[in-house]
Homo-oligomer: A and B are copies of this chain.
Amino acid sequence: MRFIVATVCLLFFSCNESIISSRNKSDIPFSIVIHGGAGTILKENMTNELEKAYLNKLEEAIRVGYSLLENGASSQEAVEKSINIMEDSPLFNAGKGAVLNSNSEVELDASFMNGKTLDAGAISGASSIKNPISAAIAVMENSPHVMLSGKGADTFAAIQGLDSVPNSYFITERRLNALKKVKKYKTAYFFKNGLYENLNQLYGTVGCVALDKEGNISAGTSTGGMTNKKWNRIGDAPIIGAGTYANNKSCGVSATGWGEFFIRSVAAHDIANLVEYKKISIKDAARIVIHEKIAVLGGSGGVIAIDSKGNVAMEMNTKGMYRAHMDSKGNFSVKIYSDD
């Protein structure tokens, strides 16, 4: 008799728990947002074909991540796979097609953060890792460290069995031309606002933030940094707190733009702290950091963010930011210009 009661109770509680758990899960709106870089992106400088190529690739990248989330995958997996699509496309400044440093080489930076565990991984100055975001995740999962750099990052990724490619794989005609243009001017271009404004391919990044059905947030960022960068410069993309941050208590953030200003502003973490400590919305937090902090210092760029309730922010102080958003409530958008 005791056995039967126990079995019935067990069945009841199991069913009950699964009903509650499935109800809770369906209450959580899963969501994904990506960016492909911010900058002086003007419609008059864009051909119809190029515009279409960007929109198609952004849609492909966000649909890959969304489909994973829909099928119950973790936000970590969605972030990795969406970013991989953009890294493999020569359109964006990450992986293949990344910008060139002053020695005409590609040096890649990336970071990833898991908002549930606060685990994080990053690589900087890598020269042979095909998909830097996957290497950042491998650093997080399989090394005692959070951040590896230079040859060490390349070696670690190779040991992990990640795809290794010669540096020439990353280099495109378009980025070689951009470097030539910058080099024509003898002084460092970024001290000259006028010049800076005229060159729209100097920086850029790709990034993704996702909230999965379990309510876990992840964020990742991957980039080649800034055209003509020198002395093994590290930008904000591989810096946890600057270019990438995720915390289930507040939000996930990925930034793109003039990295130096995002480092000085600890931009991604500042947005998360405004949400957590000041109890303001993610849209307001992103607006404050991008327009009232970074722009005031003289910096330009944008961010994408998702909070623990699935609310999304896509904020920029530039003329455009390649971006897309998709969620379980049926929202879907792919945009380029700031006034889109």
Contact = CB atoms under 8 A, between A and B. Distances in A.
A136 interface: no
A120 interface: yes
Query: How many monomers of this chain does the complex have?
Result: 2
A242 interface: yes
A275 to B, nearest CB: 10
Interface in A219-252: 229-235, 239-242, 245
Interface in A238-289: 239-242, 245, 259-260, 263-266, 269-270, 273-274, 277-278
B240 A266 contact: yes
A332 interface: no
Contacts of A148: 231-234
Nearest to A231: B152
Contact of A150 (B125, B145, B235): B125
A19 interface: no
A191 interface: yes
B269 A231 contact: no
Contacts of A269: 241, 266, 269-270, 273
Contact of A153 (B145, B147, B229, B231): B231
Contact of A145 (B118, B147, B229): B229
Interface in A133-188: 143-153, 155-156, 188
A146 B260 contact: yes
A186 to B, nearest CB: 14
Contact of A144 (B144, B191, B297): B191
Contacts of A146: 259-260, 263-264
A167 to B, nearest CB: 16
A119 interface: yes
DSSP class of A's interface residues: helix, strand, loop or mixed? mixed
A124 interface: yes
A13 interface: no
A130 to B, nearest CB: 18
Contacts of A260: 144-146
A150 B231 CA distance: 8
A190 interface: yes
Contacts of A147: 233-235, 239, 263
A213 to B, nearest CB: 24
Most-contacted residue by chain B among A230, A235, A241 (CB, 10 A): A241
Q: Chain B CB within 10 Å — which of A119, A143, A190, A234 has the most?
A: A234
A297 to B, nearest CB: 6
Contact of A232 (B153, B270, B273, B278): B153
Contact of A234 (B149, B156, B188): B149
Contacts of A270: 269, 273
A148 B125 CA distance: 10
Nearest to A148: B231
B297 A118 contact: yes
6 contacts: A149-B149, A150-B150, A151-B232, A152-B233, A269-B269, A277-B278
